[in-house]
């Protein structure tokens, strides 16, 4: 149960990634390595990280599609929190909920506003549908509606072709990226296929979401420009199902989706080897349940990331990427304590012993 953090709290354990055993005192929403009198000890052993991160999550989308009320969004965020996720990048929501940004019960929240896509080229009721001439204007609006990001739909099935295809031309994408950057927002782009990627990477997007169509040359450009990849392997596992659903009407699309699914582990491994920044994202919402960040970290390890790097991609490095501190003097009071070193067995991440969020004990 979530409880107040007063009086001050005390935790002792091995802090990762530094591997230093130390005492941490928590006063309000701040950490300190200096003793605080009368603090209550809530853990005196274990391995401590600043919490997990889901960098591609949708708390505005439930199992049955878009939700319509803030209370439901809050409950989905709590599911993530109770699994040790203390920071979320909501990569597109059909409803606005700025009031959740500073809710003390919820993970730190970075929002990308609403998806941007052409008319009838994305999932119903999720995106703001805009013609090419409108995209840059809408990118500016969504930059203001979010709090640091926007979300472009870079490709989707084109029913006239019977296969995946870019949603806009390169010049339109570039204008939208420039508009978002001018409004001080970063740009995340959904892509499954190959065709949209060269223009998007050239336009200077900040993250590629999914990225199943990436080639070696594009991976090299991403590494050079430090464009992040959020592979969402948890969702990509559903590609065979999506292919089967589309087989009768769109056989070309179905074959393409199966091929993308089959090659994707090698794509992620190549991106990792090339030095592309990779971060954990589950694509929670709709067919993917919330609270699966630990499972996504395990998947990254399975496709070739070291245990330490997979953990960093879903914890301290992801927090830094989103603008949140790790465990540091004066840092934000977010931490999770595990009974064993998660770098030795990532399955430990499924069983946090203590969770402290914004200076309050969750568990």
CA distances from 141 to 45, 113, 120, 230 (A): 48, 9, 21, 24
Task: Give the DSSP per-residue string, 332-363.
Answer: BS-EEEESS-TTT-GGGGGS-SEEEETTEE--
| Alpha-carbon gap, residue 59 to 285, rounded angstroms | 7
Contacts of 228 by beta carbon, 8 Å cutoff, 6+ apart: 206, 207, 208, 222, 276, 277, 278, 279, 321
- Please say whether the beta carbons of 335 and 48 come within 8 A: yes
CATH architecture of 9-49+325-361: Roll (2.30)
pTM of the predicted structure, to 2 decimals: 0.96
Q: Are 19 and 33 in contact (CB under 8 A)?
A: no
Torsion of CA 76, 82, 88, 94, to 10 degrees: 0
Q: Which two tokens stand for residue 168?
A: 């806009």
pLDDT at 51 over 50: yes
Q: How far is it, in rounded angstroms, from Cα 301 to Cα 139?
A: 35
Whether the per-residue pLDDT at 5 is higher than 50: the answer is: no
Give the Cβ contact number of residue 127 at 10 Å.
Answer: 23
Backbone angles phi, psi at 286, to 5 degrees: 65, -115
pLDDT higher than 60, residue 1 = no
Tens of pLDDT along 335-360? 999 999 999 999 999 999 999 999 99
The model's confidence at residue 68, banded by pLDDT at 50, 70 and 90, is confident
Provide the 10 A C-beta neighbour count for residue 257. 28
Q: What integer pLDDT is reported at residue 6 of this predicted model?
A: 65
Virtual torsion, Cα 37, 39, 41, 46, nearest 10 deg? -80
* Averaged pLDDT score across all residues of the chain: 96
239-262 per-position pLDDT tens digit: 999 999 999 999 999 999 999 999
Lowest-confidence segment of 120-124, 170-174, 330-334 by average pLDDT: 120-124
- Here the tokens at position 251 are 């056989």
pLDDT at res. 65: 84
- Determine the pLDDT at residue 224: 98
Percent above pLDDT 90 for the chain? 94
Among 326, 264, 339, smallest CA distance to 299 is for 264
Domains 9-49+325-361 and 52-319 belong to one CATH topology:
no
Q: How far apart are CA 143 and CA 301, in angstroms?
A: 33
Beta strands in 231-361 (DSSP E): 335-338, 354-357, 360-361
Indicate the range of 62-71, 108-117, 130-139 predicted with least confidence.
Answer: 62-71
CATH superfamily of 52-319: Metal-dependent hydrolases (3.20.20.140)
**How confident is the model at residue 328, as a pLDDT?**
97
For residues 292 and 219, give the distance between their C-alpha atoms in angstroms, rounded to a whole number: 26
Of residues 363 and 294, more confidently modeled: 294
- Give the β-pairing of 47-49 and 335-338: antiparallel
**CA dist., res. 302 & res. 300, Å (int):** 5
Distance in angstroms (rounded) separating the CA atoms of residues 262 and 168: 27
- How far, in Å, CA of 236 to CA of 301, rounded? 15
For CA atoms 121, 126, 132, 133, give the dihedral sign: positive
pLDDT tens for 167-217 read: 999 999 999 999 999 999 999 999 999 999 999 999 999 999 999 999 999
State residue 64's pLDDT score: 80
| Tokens of residue 110, six digits | 């970075």
What are the sequence ranges of the domains in the chain?
9-49+325-361, 52-319
3-state secondary structure at position 302: helix
Model pLDDT, residue 62: 86
């Amino acid at each position: 149960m979530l409880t107040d953090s007063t009086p001050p709290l005390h935790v002792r354990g091995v802090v990762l990634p530094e591997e230093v055993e130390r005492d941490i005192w928590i006063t309000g929403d701040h950490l300190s390595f200096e003793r605080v009198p009368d603090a209550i000890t809530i853990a005196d052993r274990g391995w401590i990280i600043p919490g997990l991160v889901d960098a591609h999550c949708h708390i505005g989308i439930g199992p049955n599609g878009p939700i319509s009320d803030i209370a439901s969004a809050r409950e989905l965020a709590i599911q993530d929190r109770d699994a040790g996720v203390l920071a979320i990048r909501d990569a597109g929501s059909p409803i606005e909920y700025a009031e959740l940004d500073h809710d003390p019960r919820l993970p730190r929240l970075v929002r990308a506003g609403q998806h941007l896509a052409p008319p009838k080229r994305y999932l119903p009721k999720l995106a703001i549908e805009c013609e090419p001439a409108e995209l840059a204007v809408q990118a500016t609006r969504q930059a203001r509606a979010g709090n640091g990001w926007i979300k472009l739909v870079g490709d989707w099935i084109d029913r006239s072709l019977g296969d995946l295809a870019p949603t806009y031309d390169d010049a339109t994408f570039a204008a939208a990226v420039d508009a978002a950057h001018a409004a001080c927002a970063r740009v995340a782009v959904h892509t499954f296929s190959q065709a949209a990627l060269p223009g998007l990477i050239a336009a200077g997007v900040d993250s590629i979401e999914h990225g199943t169509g990436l080639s070696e040359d594009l991976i090299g450009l991403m590494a050079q420009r430090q464009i992040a990849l959020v592979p969402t392997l948890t969702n990509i596992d559903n590609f065979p199902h999506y292919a089967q659903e589309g087989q009768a009407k769109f056989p070309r699309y179905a074959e393409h989706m199966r091929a993308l699914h089959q090659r994707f582990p090698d794509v992620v491994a190549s991106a990792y080897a090339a030095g592309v920044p990779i971060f954990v994202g589950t694509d929670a919402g709709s067919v993917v349940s919330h609270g699966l960040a630990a499972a996504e970290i395990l998947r990254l390890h399975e496709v070739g990331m070291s245990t330490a790097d997979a953990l960093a991609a879903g914890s301290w490095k992801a927090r830094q990427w989103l603008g949140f501190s790790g465990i540091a003097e004066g840092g934000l009071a977010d931490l999770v304590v595990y009974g064993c070193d998660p770098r030795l067995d990532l399955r430990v991440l499924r069983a946090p012993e203590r969770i402290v969020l914004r200076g309050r004990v969750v568990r």
